[in-house]
Structure formats: C-alpha cells, structure tokens
Amino acid sequence: MDNMEMDELFDKLNALVKEKKYRELKAELIEMNEVDIANFMEDLNSEQTVVVFRMLPKELATDVFAALPVENQQQIITSITDNELSVIVNDLYVDDAVDMLEELPANVVKRVLKNSSPDTRKLINQFLNYPDDSAGSVMTAEYIGLRKTMTVRDAFEYIRENGVDKETIYTCYVTDDTRCLEGVITVKDLLMNPYETVIGDIMDDNVIKVTTTEDQENVAMIFNDYDLLSLPVVDNEDRLVGIITVDDVMDVMEEEATEDIQKMAAIIPSEKPYLKTDVLTLARNRIPWLLVLMFSSLFTGAILLKYENAFAAVPLLVTFVPMLMDTGGNSGSQASTMIIRGMAVGDIELPDAAKVLWKEIRVGMICGFILASANFVRLMIQYPGHTMISFVVVLSVFCTVIIAKSIGSMLPMLAKAIHLDPALVASPMLTTVVDAASLMIYFTFASRILGLMNN
C-alpha cells in the first residue's frame, strides 16, 4: 500500500468514526497492521481514541498501544479500568513499558505501577534505573533462555511453549544455573540440526555481548559490524539480564544521527519530533549556543575594528571580508564534518590524528589553490588596476583554506581526546575560530604587502 492509498484508507476510517459506524470500522481495523492503526489513531481526539481502542481485540490492542505516542497512551490509561490497565501493562514488553513511563506524569506512572504484577513492577523499576543512552535502557527482558543439556527437540518444545511473549525467538541464549551466559544458538542452527543433537554441542560459545552500562552508540556499531538480530546484555558478574533487538537499535541509530546533526548545527539535541515540540522548548534548545557564538563573534568584530585605518585607507578591502570569512568557515566545516562523522561511525580514531592532519593540509592546498586561482581571474577582470590588493586577497584565500581545514579537522579530535563530545564542541566553535584566523591572515598580508600600518 503506498502513501496515497493509505491516505484514502485513513479518510474512509475517519468518516466511519464520525458517522459512528463502529461495526464497519472494526472490520477494517482488524485487517490492518498495528503500526498503521496507531498512525490512524494519532490524529483522533481524546474521546475517539478511547472508543477506537476499546473496539480492538485484546492482543491487537496491546500491540497498537505499544505503537502509540505517549499522549495517546495517557488518554487511554486515564479512561480504562484498573483491570484493563493491568492486562495491558503486563502484556507490554518491558522496554516499551519503560519508554512510556519515562514520559508520563508521576500520578499516571503511580497508577500504572500499582496495576502491574509484582514481577513486572520489579523489572520496570530495575530498568528505569539504567542511565539514559546505556545498553540497559534499550534492552528488554523477554528472551528465550535455554540450557546446554537440552536437545534440539527440547529447545523447540520450550520455544513453542514460551515463545509467544518473547520479543525475539530467533536467537536463543544458553545460561547456566547462575544465569551466566554460556553460549548462543539461532533457530536456524536448531532447524538445521537433527532433533537429538544436544544444544551444548552446537551452540556458539564465542558470544558477542555488552554490559548494561555500555553506550548505546557502541551498541549500534556492534549490531552494524556483526549484522546481528539481537545482542545479549550482561551485568558485572556476566549474568544475562536482557537482550537488545535490532528494531530498537534502528531507533537508536536514527536518534544518534539526529543528535549529531543537531549538535553540529549548534542546537541542544532533543529526541522529540519537531512538530510535537513546543515553541518555548525549541527556543530553549537554540538560545545557549546562539548566545555563546554571538559573544565570541564580537572577538572577530574587535579584530575588524582594530584594522579600521586599513579600511579607511583602502575601502575596497572591506568588500572581500565576507568572502574570506565564508570560505574559511565552509572549508573548516567541511573538514570537521568529515572527521566528526568518521569518528561517529568508527572509521576514524584518535591515533589517526597525524594522518588526518596531513591529509587535510594537502586537501587544503588543492582546494586553496583552485579557489585562489578562480579569485585571481575574477579580480584581474573586475579590478584590473588593483594588482597588489588582488595579490593580498588571493594569498589570503589560499592560506585561509589550509588553516581552516587544519583547524576543522583537529578540533573534533582534540575534543574527543579530552573526552568531550566532538559534534557538540567542534562544529559550533569552529566558525568563530576560523573567522578570527581568516581575518588575521587577511590583515597581516594587507598590512605587510600594502604597507598600510606602522609595523
């Protein structure tokens, strides 16, 4: 179904809701994917949301509930009975429940926890304690755990009995009596071996795993490197506490990329979608860096002012200032972007610093030479008389590009070396540093070559 067909379907469903043709509506809904139902319900008003939710069959209802945004979840929670709430909460995967609870107001959280079974409540509380962005905060508790003495037949039986509630059944984890992780076996391995085979003989005991405190960005990198469907998470004693599934990792990847992109644009990152973020929050996320950058650019202004007699003597000089600053800024941010992204995806590491700098200097020389030449041609045509000024401009462009690329590539690595976030530190600071550098280069050349000032 493409977007247009989906829009048509939604229009039809909306009409059914308005006309209160609930039987027809229900018939349509139960044929649909839970994600599509959730998308449809998002735009309903609070009352309609609850009506539609109540007409869903029980299992579908929980799946739809998990896929809804937290606003709609809250509407539903506040209008169903404790009993109904209890069923939903105990049916939710722990990671979905935790994601929801982190967003809900305290009184609603209290009611949800009151209506969970003691086991679920304990798990939820444990999960709520894992630091944000850690492996523990992304994992779920519902995995298939096997013993190595089981046969393939036992394993299948166990999966048939217990698999319905597990987030993934395709990778099973083999643990000992103390819940220590001993090995991993996929359903594919199980299917490819005779029923009598003992799990211990065919499991892979070289398990790729992480601890609960591992950064979620590294988790995403591990999934990507090893093409995993799920990854076991252990505590400090190597006991299996949960698994991370690939669908949650895709969310992490998108989130981390968005975060890096926002940081590079001098925005305090936020996970909420743009259209659902209120104006005040948007402003609050943008003002701090704007203020910092505004005041640091006063420094550039001070440099300009210092050379005001140069402007007075040769007014033409001022016309090249934006070009130089922009070219420096763009050259620098090209370099810093390559390095920040390269480090984020694991292509570039700190020991590569010298290699990177040497590379950027050469790239800078090539880019600088071409930009300077282009400028030279233009200046010769536009200001044929001003050979010396042209010379100053061309030389400044060349040097600015090289310096900008060097600073742009080294700032992120420096940030990383002192354990700061490269994206956060490097990009927003870069403009100011490079602006100042390019102006100083320009006026140094101008004063030396044109002999404008007394030095």
| Interacting positions 179-238 with a copy of itself (CB under 8 A) | 187-188, 191-192, 206, 208, 223-229
Look up residue 341 and give its DSSP letter: H
| 266 lies in the site for a copy of itself, by CB under 8 A | yes
Q: What would the x/- binding string for a copy of itself be over residues 395 to 424, using CB under 8 A?
A: --x---x-----------------------
| 169 lies in the site for a copy of itself, by CB under 8 A | yes
SS3 label, residue 16: helix
Distance of CA 62 to the CA centre of its chain: 27
Dmax over CA atoms of the chain, in Å, equals 94
- What six digits make up the tokens of 3? 């977007």
Residue of the chain from 6, 8, 11, 33 that contacts a copy of itself (CB under 8 A): 33
Closer CB to a copy of itself, 116 or 333, in the complex: 333
Instruction: Kindly indicate which of the ranges 41-49, 51-59, 235-243, 300-308 contains the residues binding a copy of itself, using the contact rule CB under 8 A.
Output: 300-308
Residue of the chain from 347, 387, 420, 448 that contacts a copy of itself (CB under 8 A): 347
| 163 lies in the site for a copy of itself, by CB under 8 A | yes
Instruction: Kindly indicate which of the ranges 94-102, 126-134, 233-241, 330-338 contains the residues binding a copy of itself, using the contact rule CB under 8 A.
Output: 330-338
Residue 25: which H helix or E strand, with range? helix 22-29
| 273 lies in the site for a copy of itself, by CB under 8 A | yes
Look up residue 244 and give its DSSP letter: E
| 300 lies in the site for a copy of itself, by CB under 8 A | yes
Buried b / exposed e across 173-186, counting CB within 10 Å, b at 16+? bbbeeeeebbbbbb
| 32 lies in the site for a copy of itself, by CB under 8 A | yes
| 170 lies in the site for a copy of itself, by CB under 8 A | yes
The rounded distance, in Å, linking the Cα atoms of 37 and 295 is: 49
Instruction: Kindly indicate which of the ranges 44-52, 89-97, 120-128, 155-163 contains the residues binding a copy of itself, using the contact rule CB under 8 A.
Output: 155-163
Closer CB to a copy of itself, 242 or 332, in the complex: 332
Closer CB to a copy of itself, 117 or 162, in the complex: 162
| 42 lies in the site for a copy of itself, by CB under 8 A | no
Residues 84-123 close enough to bind a copy of itself by CB under 8 A:
none
Dihedral of CA atoms 107, 108, 112, 114 in degrees, nearest 10, equals 20
| 354 lies in the site for a copy of itself, by CB under 8 A | no
| Residue 452 CB, nearest approach to a copy of itself (Å) | 15
Residue of the chain from 331, 390, 396, 406 that contacts a copy of itself (CB under 8 A): 331
The rounded distance, in Å, linking the Cα atoms of 373 and 397 is: 9
| 164 lies in the site for a copy of itself, by CB under 8 A | yes
| 377 lies in the site for a copy of itself, by CB under 8 A | no
| 338 lies in the site for a copy of itself, by CB under 8 A | yes
- Determine whether 330 is exposed, middle or buried from the number of CB atoms within 10 Å of its CB (0-12, 13-18, 19+): middle
Ranges assigned E (strand) in 283-409:
none
Residue reference for tokens 């743009």? 274
Residue type present at position 61 = A
| Residue 290 CB, nearest approach to a copy of itself (Å) | 6
Residue of the chain from 78, 301, 380, 417 that contacts a copy of itself (CB under 8 A): 301
Q: Please compute, for residue 97, the number of CA atoms within 13 A of its CA located in the half-sphere on the CB side.
A: 30
Handedness of CA 220, 224, 228, 233 (dihedral sign): negative
Contact 44, 52 (CB under 8 A): yes
- What six digits make up the tokens of 207? 């398990």
| Residue 286 CB, nearest approach to a copy of itself (Å) | 5
| 311 lies in the site for a copy of itself, by CB under 8 A | yes
Residue of the chain from 289, 398, 442, 443 that contacts a copy of itself (CB under 8 A): 289
Residue type present at position 117 = S
Contact 212, 134 (CB under 8 A): yes
Residue 172 has phi, psi (to 5 degrees) of -110, 150
| 274 lies in the site for a copy of itself, by CB under 8 A | yes
Using alpha carbons, select from 328, 315, 334 the residue that is nearest to residue 404.
Answer: 328
| 294 lies in the site for a copy of itself, by CB under 8 A | yes
Distance of CA 235 to the CA centre of its chain: 25
Residue of the chain from 6, 15, 180, 305 that contacts a copy of itself (CB under 8 A): 305
| 445 lies in the site for a copy of itself, by CB under 8 A | no
Residue of the chain from 6, 27, 180, 287 that contacts a copy of itself (CB under 8 A): 287
Closer CB to a copy of itself, 106 or 164, in the complex: 164
Distance of CA 254 to the CA centre of its chain: 4
| Residue 79 CB, nearest approach to a copy of itself (Å) | 27
